[in-house]
Amino acid sequence: MRDEILHLLSGRKADRAPTFSGLIHITAEGLNSAGILFHEIHHDAAQMAKAAASTFRLTGISSAALPLDLCAPAEALGAELKFYGEDTFQFPQPARPLFGSTKYLNPGYMDSADFVNSGRIPMICDAIRMLKADIGNEIVISGVIPGPYTLLLYLIEPGGLFAEMKREPEAVSSALFQLAAFLASVAQAYRSAGADFITIHDMGGSPGFIGPAKYEQFVFPAEKQLIAQLSGPTVLSVCGNATRSLHLLNESGAEAISIDQTTDLAAARDVLKDSLLFGNIDPVQTLWQGNESDITAAGRLAKEKGADAIWPGCDLVPQTPIENIKHFIH
C-alpha cells in the first residue's frame, strides 16, 4: 500500500481509493499497547516515534504522522507552551500570546535567529528519522505543519488579530508571508528527516471559520506561497465548510486537498479539477462514536462521490476504538 499511496501522491490515481491519513492519528489504545503515556510523547524523540507507529502496529493502517501536535513552530519562534498532565489527552497549547501585534513578525525578527533549529523541531526531526528506520518501508510518513494563519493564531491574541485585520491589513498579510517562509523551512527539515509528504493543517484559517472573503484576502495568498516553496507532495487540509471557497483551493498548487465532513464532497469533486481530493469521514460521530456499519457506509459514500483517498476529516480523537480504525481501513 505504501507504493500505491506514493504513486497517488505523484498524480497517478489508483484503481481503488486507498484509506490512510496525513493528520494526527494516534490512539489511547495504541499508546497503552506500546507502554507510552500521552503526556510523555511530546518531549522525547523515541517515545514520539513509537507513539506514531502504534496505530499501524495495531491496525495495519498504511500511514503515520509527526509531530503529534501543531504547536512546535510557535514554540520555536519563542512561544511558551502549556503541556498537560498525565490524566488528560489534551494536546499542547500556547500558554499566552507571544506578541501584542503582527508588526513584531517582520523580516528583522524572523531573521534574528535560527528558528528552524530551535525548540522541539530538531527532536521532531530525530523522531521522523527513527520512525523512518522502524517502519518507513511499510507506510507513508506525513510531516504535519500548521498553516500560516493557524500559526499566527498561536502567536497573537485572537481578538487583537481580528482587529488588526480590519485596521492594518497590510501588516497582517506581511506577517503571514513571513510565517509561510518559516513554515517552508520547517517542512523541508521534516522532508529531509524522512517525511514522504507534507500536510498543511490550517485549522484556524479555514474559510468555514473566518469566512470566504477573509480567507481569500489573508489566508489563501500565504498558503499558496507556502505550497510553492515546498518540494515533494503536499496535502492542504481544510477544516470547516469550505464549499464556497473550492475554486480557490483548486488553485492552491497542492497535490491534494483534504476536506472534512462539513464540506460538500460531490461539489468539491466537481470543482477540484487540478488536485486530488481526500476526505471526508467524520472523526467524531463516525470513527469515534460510530459502529462498523456507519464506518463502512461513510467510506463507500466517499468513494462514490469521487474521493481519491479516504481520510478522516480531521485528527483522530485519541479515544477512537482500534476496532473502528480496522473497519475504516477495510
Q: In sequence order, what are the residues at sequence separation of 6 or more whose Cβ sits closer than 8 angstroms to the Cβ of residue 17?
A: 302, 303, 307, 308, 309, 310
In a domain, residue 263? The reply is: yes
In a domain, residue 220? The reply is: yes
Query: Does the pLDDT at position 87 exceed 90?
Result: no
First to last CA, the chain: 13
| Mean pLDDT along residues 85-103 | 91
| Mean pLDDT along residues 140-169 | 96
In a domain, residue 119? The reply is: yes
Q: What is the pLDDT of residue 17?
A: 94
9-46 per-position pLDDT tens digit: 998 887 889 999 999 999 999 999 999 999 899 999 99
* Beta carbons of 303 and 281 less than 8 angstroms apart: no
Per the structure, the complete domain to which residue 22 belongs is given by: 2-6+16-329
* Beta carbons of 55 and 26 less than 8 angstroms apart: yes
Distances (CA, A) of 155 to 39, 51, 100, 232: 23, 27, 9, 28
303-314 per-position pLDDT tens digit: 999 999 999 999
Q: What is the pLDDT of residue 15?
A: 81
In a domain, residue 314? The reply is: yes
Q: What is the pLDDT of residue 259?
A: 97
Q: What is the pTM of this model?
A: 0.97
In a domain, residue 196? The reply is: yes
Query: Does the pLDDT at position 86 exceed 80?
Result: no
* C-alpha–C-alpha distance, residues 139 and 3, integer Å: 9
Q: Which domain CATH number covers 237? A: 3.20.20.210
In a domain, residue 11? The reply is: no
In a domain, residue 229? The reply is: yes
41-81 per-position pLDDT tens digit: 999 999 999 999 999 999 999 999 999 999 999 999 999 99
Q: What is the pLDDT of residue 221?
A: 98
Count how many domains the chain has.
1
34-43 per-position pLDDT tens digit: 999 998 999 9
